[in-house]
Amino acid sequence: MYPYLKLLCFSFLAFLLSFGLSAQQTISGRVFHGDGSEQIGAIVCASNGTEDCMPSDPDDSLSTFTFIEVYTLTLPDSIAYLYFNWDGMVNPVVPIAGRDTLNLINASYWEMAHDRYPEEKIPARAHSIQVAGIVEEFRKKEDYRQVPLAGATLTPMVSPEQPLASVTSDAEGQFSLTIPPEAGVLRMQYKWVDKYYVLPPVRTLYVPFLLGVGRDMKQQKKRRRQWERQQRN
């Protein structure tokens, strides 16, 4: 009996190990510009949270994936982050955090967002959006670090005259809020930054705001200098 009991225990242990090693997660989503249009040709891949794309493993489950509209990845449960690449600029590493859907607004393209409440008609939405995100600044002079920014204000807006209750980013730069169906725009304010983002027709959304990068750096620097002068006067 004893050898059979050992064999049974060994087989059960091997089953548990194989199950743990084979546990996987599937995650999908879309990427949008600040004006509500879809980002075409973005790249997504698995990340360890501190680097960009992780090296591909033998079964190629960590390989880089370029998508047109919707991405779907099946990854080991041990993967906790996704890295998104827009065009070789500084790009976000986003925590998966148990999500099976991860939609993003590409908030590092500041010129794709609006400087005022958009004049065009905002598409109607029949559901609320659960929004989370982070506000950071890319600082070349500090070893190219991404520094979290506390105190940024995020305000859902129904119209230019009808803002809803706002939230502010915390000490880690993070924020979360529920945006009701009637609000089609999210306003982001931080010192010299004041931008309006058209909300896409999704139920969950992650918005990684990153100051100090983008194609409109001259405009960002100009606005920062103007703001700093106003603070001194």
Task: Classify residue 198 by its DSSP letter.
Answer: E
Whole-number Å distance between alpha carbons of 174 and 172:
5
Place of tokens 């506390």: 150
Residue 215 lies in a domain: yes
Q: Judge whether 75 and 27 are in contact, CB under 8 Å.
A: yes
CA 17 to centroid of chain Cα atoms:
33
Tokens of 210: 């990153």
Cα radius of gyration rounded to whole Å, the chain: 21
Give the number of other Cβ atoms within 10 Å of residue 57's Cβ.
11
Whole-number Å distance between alpha carbons of 45 and 221:
32
Residue 196 lies in a domain: yes
Tokens of 212: 């100090």
Residue 173 lies in a domain: yes
Identify the segments of the chain with pLDDT beneath 70: 1-22, 50-52, 55-68, 87-90, 109, 141-144, 213-221, 223-224, 227-228
Residue 17 lies in a domain: no
In tens, the pLDDT along 16-65 reads: 444 444 588 999 999 998 999 888 877 888 887 766 677 666 555 566 66
Residue 3 lies in a domain: no
Instruction: Give the pairing type, strands 167-168 and 24-29.
Output: unpaired
Domain count for the chain = 1
Residue 155 lies in a domain: yes
Q: What are phi and psi of 140, to 5 degrees?
A: -65, -35
CATH number at residue 147: 2.60.40.10
Q: State the pTM of this model.
A: 0.80
Q: Judge whether 178 and 212 are in contact, CB under 8 Å.
A: no
DSSP 5-44: HHHHHHHHHHHHHHHHHH-EEEEEE-EE-TTSPBPPS-EE
Q: Is 134 helix (H, G, I), strand (E, B) or coil?
A: strand
Tokens of 15: 């089953």
Residue 117 lies in a domain: yes
Domain of residue 152, residue span: 24-232
Residue 10 lies in a domain: no
Q: Length of the chain in residues, anyone?
A: 233
pLDDT for the residue 107: 82
Q: Which of 186, 118, 179 is nearest to 152 (CA)?
A: 186
